[in-house]
Amino acid sequence: MARLVMKFGGTSVGSVDRIKNVAKRVKKEVDAGNEVAVVVSAMSGETNRLVGLASDVAALHDAREYDVVVSSGEQVTVGLLSMALQDLGVNARSWLGWQIPVKTSDVHGAARIEDIDCSELVERFKDGQVAVCAGFQGIASSRRITTLGRGGSDTSAVALAAAMEADQCDIYTDVDGIYTADPRIATKASKLDRITYEEMLELASLGAKVLQTRSVEMAMKHRVKLQVLSSFEELPGTLVVDEDDIVEHQVVSGVTYTRDEAKVTLQQVNDQPGVAALVFGALADAHVNVDMIVQNVSEDGKATDLTFTVGRNELDPALKVLENLKGEVNCKAIVPDPNVVKVSIVGMGMRSHAGVAQTMFSALAEKGINIQVISTSEIKVSVLLAEEYTELAVRTLHSAFNLDAA
Ligand code: ADP
Ligand code: ASP
Ligand code: MG
């Protein structure tokens, strides 16, 4: 007997038939004698619809009310799945975030889980009851409903698995595992049997939305045995594991991309001490996160271009802040460019192999793709490119690092 957390994403519960299919998968585990907690997302498209409704009513809305609205999708699916399970003769009960409770911070729209008390759920396992839990939802100390950010049901599942010391946390989704690149744009992407927590953390934070970044962080911290697998086919998926559990590391394990950033160039700012501190200090005060940064060396020692990226949805607030600073840093022009993509390669093997970045740059150059900004860390290299090159760049790098499926 094992204790399992099974998480099903939006596509997996996207219709009545699919919910019934999920119920069958869950019943199988129950029949095998396992204790099961299920975590579900809203039906596919539903959260987007709810986000749209909130924006339509008021472009600038109260984040607490946003959470009340967008969390409702998960209420529907826990109820429906519980009914479907009961219909198959399985003892099942639904749980909303506040009922469990999943206690979170009060950062509405992007709350962090602080504590989960799953004692009642675990108590009910003794009666063979399946806990059908709403993903994405929590409750703040103010007793207001919170949500965990887009894709947050992954984090709900991992956090629940950690809290109930589950033997495994299975993330069922619309692909049959973690691939070397998003299989929707890299047709030659191949499925990985295993990937390290560290690599998956980088891939997720650099755009691979197959797992929410925080879910990987949490799995790594609590050593949750995490698997990504198909909700439609019964195939082994991809295990996310410790570094020691992988015998041979690829130099590059995956290629990923994100269109979530926008580039800003401050043309001809003063090249003198304190300018960067002023610009990035003002952005930080306005809670605008800056990611990649390049500053050219000025030829005359007087003025230089300063280029950096911010979240695409933070571009407008960033521009407002910069407009106010324009005079102070003596900047000629502020040039925003939202049409960029950040493409990254990730792999533990980079620690011990030289020349990886060089291979990346040459491969892009051969296709005539211009690199606008570069950033590196121990196990990744990211480049900023014109958005139109997204697919070409991902495919090119996938081939250059020998990741193409045979
Ligand atoms: P769910 O609704 O089940 O949470 P998501 O849409 O959030 O599913 O995540 C699954 C999607 O992640 C896949 O359909 C795939 O397009 C995308 N994806 C991006 N990068 C990868 C990758 N490296 N491996 C697998 N899937 C990926
Ligand atoms: N339904 C939420 C979303 O679409 C949470 C999730 O699916 O993980 O972002
Ligand atoms: Mg998801």
pLDDT tops 90 at residue 297 = no
* Nearest ligand 2 atom to alpha carbon 150: 9
* Nearest ligand 2 atom to alpha carbon 153: 8
Please report, as a single letter, which amino acid is at residue 110. Answer: A
Pocket test for ligand 2, best of 12, 153, 156 (most atoms within 8 A of CB): 153
> What's the average model confidence in pLDDT over 67-78?
98
> What's the average model confidence in pLDDT over 393-401?
97
> What's the average model confidence in pLDDT over 203-223?
97
Query: What pLDDT, on the 0 to 100 scale, is given for residue 97?
Result: 98
Taking the centre of ligand 2 as the mean of its atom positions, its distance from the CA of residue 73, in whole angstroms, is: 9
- Nearest by Cα to 214 from 266, 257, 157, 165: 157
List ligand 1's pocket residues with C-beta within 6 A. Answer: 9-12, 41, 151, 173-175, 178-179, 181-184, 208-210, 254
Pairing, β 340-346 against β 254-258: antiparallel
For the stretch 127-161, pLDDT in tens is 999 999 999 999 999 999 999 999 999 999 999 99
pTM of the shown model: 0.94
> What's the average model confidence in pLDDT over 67-84?
98
Regarding predicted confidence, which is higher, 334 or 272?
334
Tokens 């129950």 found at = 30
Regarding predicted confidence, which is higher, 28 or 327?
28
Answer left, alpha or beta for residue 58, where phi above 0 means left and psi between -120 and 50 means alpha.
beta
Query: What pLDDT, on the 0 to 100 scale, is given for residue 406?
Result: 81
Instruction: Report the percent of the chain where pLDDT is more than 90.
Output: 91
Query: What pLDDT, on the 0 to 100 scale, is given for residue 257?
Result: 98
pLDDT tops 80 at residue 23 = yes
Whole-number Å distance between alpha carbons of 4 and 169: 6
Query: What pLDDT, on the 0 to 100 scale, is given for residue 247?
Result: 82
Direct distance between the N- and C-terminal alpha carbons of the chain, in angstroms, rounded to an integer: 38
pLDDT band at 356 (very low <50, low <70, confident <90, very high): very high
For the stretch 338-352, pLDDT in tens is 999 999 999 999 998
> What's the average model confidence in pLDDT over 29-36?
98
Contacts of 308 (CB under 8 A, 6+ apart): 263, 264, 280, 290, 291, 292, 293, 294, 373
3 burial class (0-12, 13-18, 19+ CB within 10 angstroms)? middle
Query: What pLDDT, on the 0 to 100 scale, is given for residue 270?
Result: 86
pLDDT tops 90 at residue 60 = no
* Nearest ligand 1 atom to alpha carbon 12: 3
